[in-house]
Chains A and B, each alone.
Chain A
Amino acid sequence: MSDRYSGHGSAATGTNKTILTAFCASATPKVRPRLYELLLGSVATPADVAALFYLSRFTAVGTEGSGFTPIPLDPGAPAAGECDCGVGVFSVEPTYTASKELLAIPMNQRATFRWIAAPGGELVLPATQNNGVGLKSSSMSSGTPAFDVTMHWME
């Protein structure tokens, strides 16, 4: 049975600004992580800002602002899984795969968003070092409000 992990990050947004990434950290990953839940909301002062986010694959992790050690949802699971997380603000953005977003999320800053995969509908990540998915803000109608992201995956 697979183990489940949680990753969380909060960062200022803007044009093409990554908030949170999840990627295979080990040199020889043994499993393909499967992302099955995503939560997104702003922790900034409420304002009517039109925001567009993309969840996309990347092949290079970039330079993260800070790290986040994934937390196993089951306390009995291995503390360190295959995946690691990067949190914005990135000084070098991950190298995203062009024009192939796995999930597009247009929303108001005041709204909250949650996506859950049905069994079998998870987003599968390749078992390759430094490959993964990242949630980035594509555009903001004004300002750079901070957003909070949580990802759950199994591996």
Chain B
Amino acid sequence: MAPPPHAPHAPHTPTHSARRPAGHVIMVDPGGVELMADTLQCVHCGAHWIVKPGSGRKRGFCLKCMGPTCGSPRCEHSCNPVEAQIEAMEAAGDAAVQLAGGLYVPAAASLTTR
């Protein structure tokens, strides 16, 4: 019996998966196979992600901003549009900025791991 075309734990990445994508990704793997995918952009933090239906990642939607959110707690629990955050960055200059209710600590290499 042939396996299903897309196993539950191996979601495929369709080339076009969003009605209004915020970006596109093109990857060429070593075998010369070209992968194309849509990206969406979080209306709160501005991050992009590749849309993978069935991936299991929980994203959100802000009814105030009328746009998708990335799923991180700081973007899901409050509405802080990216425009407002950029204005806060500009107002603060080089000072520390609190992004979307999250704690921002300006420092070093330990911050760069997830």
Contact = CB atoms under 8 A, between A and B. Distances in A.
Interface of A: 16, 32, 46, 54, 56, 59-60, 93, 95-104, 107-108, 110-118, 120-121, 123-131, 136, 138
Contact of B46 (A104, A124, A131): A124
A108 B24 CA distance: 19
A59 B106 CA distance: 8
Given A116-B24, A117-B22, A126-B86, A99 B102 contact: yes
Interface of A is mostly: strand
B3 to A, nearest CB: 25
A54 B94 CA distance: 21
A111 B30 contact: yes
A48 to B, nearest CB: 8
A110 B111 CA distance: 28
B44 to A, nearest CB: 10
Shortest Cβ-Cβ A-B pairs, 8 listed: A121-B22, A110-B30, A126-B89, A98-B111, A117-B23, A114-B26, A16-B112, A126-B90
A125 B30 CA distance: 33
